Amino acid sequence: MGAAGIGDDYYPTLGNGGYDVQHYDLDLFYDPDDNVLDAAVVITAMATQDLTAFNLDFTGFDIVDLRVGDLPATFERNAGELTITPAVPIASGERFDVTIAYAGNPTASSSPAFDRVAIGWREGPEGEQYIVAEPDAAHTWFPSNDHPLDKATFSFIVTVPDGYAVGATGEFLGIEPGQEIVETLTYAWEMTTPMAPYLATIVIGEGYQLVEDPVSSEAAGIPIRNFLPADLVADPPDALDDTGEMLTVLEEAFGPYPFDRYGITVVGGFPAALENQTFSVFGRVIVDSPFFEFVLVHELAHQWFGNSVSIAQWSDIWLNEGFATYSELLWIEHRQGRAVYDQVVADRRQAASTAGYAPPGLPPPTDLFNGGVYQLGGLLLADLRVEARGLDAGPQQVGGEPGEGRREDDVVDPALDE
């Protein structure tokens, strides 16, 4: 029997033991009129112990059919745990497929990590559907081993009524027309670099288009394509042009970009941003803010720290957020010079000294994305840079106004900037 958790102190039931997922194949039909998701998911896994039974994480929906290999399997559901007993036990080292067909209304969920914003499957004001699943909502839309310790490759085959477009994490493979009561379009996307389940997303919207950014693609040397609503296709936000340059600045600091493509999407109703692998999601309120440029570099930095290099425990979240916040400072230095960098570091240090943050390595489980995780984490890395390279980080006299760097408090609750 595989364990019901993967060993995370903050989330004892997230993830599972006894197997290692290799690939998720998500075949989804979404009907926007009735908000119904009809799904067939095939999970390919390798047993790491003998298994008479094993768990997946999964909430919501009705399970219509469940098979291990070709044989129907029995299953029980208890809270977020789906316990599967295959007809034939699985031997350690054996590769096996689990096929789960399910249907129902996808809904947003709340997380014990914060109470400010609903996560999971969300709907925007224009009817756009999107998923933001950090830290614990992947298993609210597909059955999964929902923990960053078990990464896998993904296929997304998403069918929607004609007129809707689908974006997803990874590479866009193509569209095929079809018929399923109404005329449909089936979008195929693929993520070939292993990905934590919480970073998987799809976005479904009317009038959305996948648009190449030639300036950024040229600068970055990889395709930069954004999946944007019609008004932003016609008039893209200015800072988006900087994506390629940001990528080269971060490569200089952190080494080669870890994936083969990048892009963002913009959705309504979400007061934050999330670094889904190769496909960051931005709430429109962030895009419209004067700080968009800094959130853009922050989410891009997560492709290195969070997505490629990942935490083993959610309590270590500062390793994701500290590097991403520090990257905002690197961009400020690149664009505005060393003196402004020094001033922004000094300002942030001053603000942090009176903020009463918890130590970033011990975030409260009910406030996982608190300001200390971001600000103290980022400042620690600025200090380590001084230690490592001898760069004097002390405040310097700056001519004119102090730095234009982002002060979290000015725009969004830092806890919402994931």
Where on the chain is the footprint of Zn ion (CB under 5 A)? 321, 324
Is the CB of 186 or the CB of 307 nearer to Zn ion? Answer: 307
Q: What is the closest distance, in whole angstroms, from the C-beta atom of residue 160 to Zn ion in the complex?
A: 30
Q: What is the closest distance, in whole angstroms, from the C-beta atom of residue 214 to Zn ion in the complex?
A: 28
Q: Which of 184, 215, 191 is nearest to 24 (CA)?
A: 191
Is the CB of 41 or the CB of 250 nearer to Zn ion? Answer: 250
Q: What is the closest distance, in whole angstroms, from the C-beta atom of residue 321 to Zn ion in the complex?
A: 5
Q: Which of 228, 207, 215 is nearest to 279 (CA)?
A: 228
Is the CB of 82 or the CB of 324 nearer to Zn ion? Answer: 324
Q: What is the closest distance, in whole angstroms, from the C-beta atom of residue 379 to Zn ion in the complex?
A: 15
Is the CB of 47 or the CB of 416 nearer to Zn ion? Answer: 416
- Rounded-to-integer distance, Cα 134 and Cα 199, Å: 7
Is the CB of 197 or the CB of 414 nearer to Zn ion? Answer: 414
CA quadruple 70, 76, 81, 86: dihedral sign:
negative
Q: What is the closest distance, in whole angstroms, from the C-beta atom of residue 256 to Zn ion in the complex?
A: 21
Is the CB of 23 or the CB of 407 nearer to Zn ion? Answer: 407
Q: What is the closest distance, in whole angstroms, from the C-beta atom of residue 74 to Zn ion in the complex?
A: 41
Q: What is the closest distance, in whole angstroms, from the C-beta atom of residue 374 to Zn ion in the complex?
A: 7
Is the CB of 84 or the CB of 368 nearer to Zn ion? Answer: 368
Q: What is the closest distance, in whole angstroms, from the C-beta atom of residue 350 to Zn ion in the complex?
A: 22
Is the CB of 166 or the CB of 317 nearer to Zn ion? Answer: 317
Q: What is the closest distance, in whole angstroms, from the C-beta atom of residue 352 to Zn ion in the complex?
A: 17
Is the CB of 109 or the CB of 320 nearer to Zn ion? Answer: 320
Nearest residue to Zn ion by CB is 324
